[in-house]
Structure 1
Amino acid sequence: MTKNPTTLYKQPPFEVQQQGFPGKTRPMVPKPDHGEESYKGSKRLQGKAALITGGDSGIGRAVAIAYAREGADVAIAYLESEEVDAREVEALITEAGVRALLIPTDISKAAEARSTIARVVEKFAKLDILVNNAAFQVPTPSLEDTSDEDWERMFATNVHGTFYVTKAAVGVMSPGGSIINTASVNTKHPTAGLFGYSATKGALGNMTVAFAQLLADRGIRVNAVLPGPIWTPFIVAGMEPDAIKSFGSKTPYGRPGQPVEVAPPYVMLASDEASYMSGALVTVAGGMPIF
């Protein structure tokens, strides 16, 4: 049965709510849909091994569920403070009949990024798919009120962490490997109130296109997904309360997306069917015009 995508999920206004970074899934109202009940796999990634950074919640969690149900073994990297969410994802992965690996780590540190890749290879004997999804965000309403520490942490996680993990991963990936970066619509449409986060995502977009060229002769594809407003713990931990209330209302759909709605492009980009796709920036934003 065909369904109207604009009315599939709750539209704003949402309850005003806020958490400390990086945020947790359970307290959110409404609870995000990561595909726990709805995502049905078709073994498109059978026999592959994947690593998803920031795989404990939000988009990373939805991608982990989708990959597992598509037949891939899945490792997730996450901050140690997010162990409860990570254990829930582990159970969902193993329920799909594949292997799971939990790696509490801080990928903004080069040594920990390298250790993360080593642990994946030790467990799965290979790495076919890397999803650079871990990120940090805080509002940056003015230059003067943006702390040096917040600025540096955004770049340390979003940009440097992606570089460290990718650098380690390409050393163990075989031809046919796929790297997928979680960028943002802010890659192309930076916003003043999130200028720091937007700057990091602009860097990721450029890194994606450059890496696609650098790694083409190795047969490794590099692409990015540019999500619009998606209902995740990242939002209630990284935005002002008033912005949360109306979150997603300015999209043509009139609502934010759910994590499960972002997962299919990650599956497609990881699959062998996407063999001629590299250097692509794929927007998932409920009709928002992003050029």
Structure 2
Amino acid sequence: MSADQSRQDPTELHEQPDTEGEELPKPGDESSVTGEMDAEPDHGEETYVGHDRLRDQVAVITGGDSGIGRAVALAFAREGADVVIAYLEGEDEDARMTARIVEDAGRRAVLVPTDLVQEEACQALVDRAVQELGRIDILVNNAAYQMAQPGGLADITTEQLDRVMRTNIYAMFWLCRMALPHMRPGSTIINTSSIQSSQPSPALLDYATTKAGIVNFTRGLARAVAEKGIRVNSVAPGPIWTPLIPATMPDDKVASFGEDTPLGRAGQPAEVATAFVYLASPESSYITGEVLAVTGGNPVTM
């Protein structure tokens, strides 16, 4: 962020998205937002300034085409990292836009369209990263699936549960297991959890369950690999404005999204990306097994 922004009142730094209660097509992408609603997410395109914190690192980011993933890719690239961007097949326009952002920062971008609900797809992603860039220094498990069900448990089908678990838990498990042999001392893993891990919404019960699992997995893996000089942490976002929100939540919830936080507004992806940079950089060298909450003031406790 710029010096001017750093002095601003955080309650006014970003305006509440003007959604007019609209709902976007599923699964939600940046192109659905741009030009359609006065609610385009801020990924830091005009504000993020890098300081070589990740010079010549190799980062793999799942769900890297839009939302928080795009903001993290942008920040990592401006901090000097090359980026492998894994994204759901069919979201090519968003992925290409993110790749241009990385390349504009003078870094390499490798695009991998895939669906990580299959173990072999996770292996292919790791193999591609190593083949193209030689190693993995930072693994960001950010890809996630959610679908709000107003009726709660009664409306969550086995098919939906399976997709949520495979996307949010299985893929993270597989990717960590597969990437670790290619990670050197000083490497880092960052898993995206959520405020839902400790404040579960009934309409997101399956999603919230996976986010709590991510926290526990992060803490356990951190202890397991500490002696190898590899750190594992998690970022737990609160209400962050991404295309996933208007694509997967009821209209009335979208219109008031984030207003119940102490800061009174939804957060922006750019405001979350700095947490990932911190946890990936040597500045957090004595931090592992932790959950860094970016929630607008709502507590994350487990």
Same fold (TM over 0.5): yes
Look up the equivalent residue of 1:109 and give its one-letter code: Q
Distance 2:179 2:296 in 1: 32
Selected match of 1:272 from 282, 292, 295:
282
- Three-state SS of the structure 2 residue aligned to 1:194 is helix
TM-score (norm: length of structure 2): 0.94
For 2:85 and 2:24, the matched residues in 1 are separated by 22
2:18 aligned with 1:8: no
Residue 8 of structure 2: SS of its match in structure 1?
Answer: coil
- Of the three residues 184, 192, 195, the one matched with 1:174 is 184
Q: How far off is 1:196 after superposition?
A: 0.8
In the alignment, the residues of structure 2 paired with residue 289 and residue 112 of structure 1 have an alpha-carbon distance, to the nearest angstrom, of: 35
Alignment of 1:99-118 (within 5 A): 99-118=108-127
1:154 to 2:158 alignment: no
- After superposition, the Cα gap between the structure-2 partners of 1:209 and 1:119, relative to the gap in structure 1 and judged at 3 Å, is same
- Structure 2 residue aligned with 1:49: 58
Counterparts of 2:292 and 2:48, CA distance in 1: 20
Query: Equivalent residue for 1:252?
Result: 262
2:94 aligned counterpart, secondary structure: helix
Q: Retained in 1: the 8 A contact 2:59–2:137?
A: yes
CA contact under 8 A between 2:194 and 2:238: conserved in structure 1?
yes
Measure, in 2, the Cα distance between the counterparts of 1:235 and 1:130.
Answer: 24
Q: Which residue does the alignment assign to 1:18?
A: 23
CA distance in 1, matches of 2:289, 2:128: 28
Give, in angstroms, the shift of residue 137 of structure 1.
0.1
Amino acid at match of 2:114: T
Helix, strand or coil for the counterpart of 1:39?
A: coil
Cα distance in structure 2, aligned partners of 1:64 and 1:13? 26
1:239 equivalent in structure 2: 249
User: What corresponds to 1:64 in structure 2?
Assistant: 73
Contact 1:13–1:247, Cα closer than 8 Å, also in 2: no
TM-score by length of 1: 0.97
Contact 1:227–1:283 (Cα < 8 Å) also in 2:
yes
Bigger drift between 5-14 and 34-43 goes to 5-14
Q: Could you tell me how far apart the structure 1 residues matched to 2:127 and 2:296 are? A: 38
Once the two structures are TM-superposed, the CA of residue 12 in structure 1 deviates from its matched residue by 5.8
Match of 1:208 among 214, 218, 229: 218
| Equivalenced residues, count | 291
Contact 2:147 2:248 in 1 (8 A): yes
What are the equivalent positions in structure 2 for 1:184-199 lying under 5 Å apart? Answer: 184-199=194-209
Q: Percent identity?
A: 46
Q: Which one-letter code corresponds to 2:80 in the other structure?
A: G
Secondary structure of 1:193's aligned partner:
helix
Report how far residue 166 of structure 1 moved.
1.0
How far has the Cα of 1:290 moved from its partner? 2.5
Q: Which residue of 2 aligns with 1:39?
A: 48
Select the residue among 127, 131, 144 that pairs with 2:154: 144
Q: CA deviation at 1:144?
A: 2.0
Q: Which deviates the most, 240-249 or 4-13?
A: 4-13
The aligned residue for residue 127 of structure 1 is 136
- Kindly state the Cα deviation for residue 289 of structure 1 after the two structures are TM-superposed: 2.5
Q: 1:290 aligns to what SS in structure 2? A: coil
Please state whether the residue corresponding to 2:182 is helix, strand or coil. Answer: coil
Q: Deviations over 1:248-287 (max 9, x none)?
A: 0100111100000000010010001211110000000111
- The CA distance in 2 between the partners of 1:255 and 1:217, in whole Å, is 41
- Once residues 72 and 100 of structure 1 are traced to their aligned partners in structure 2, the CA distance between those partners, rounded to angstroms, is 9
Root-mean-square deviation (Å)? 1.1
The CA distance in 2 between the partners of 1:272 and 1:50, in whole Å, is 15
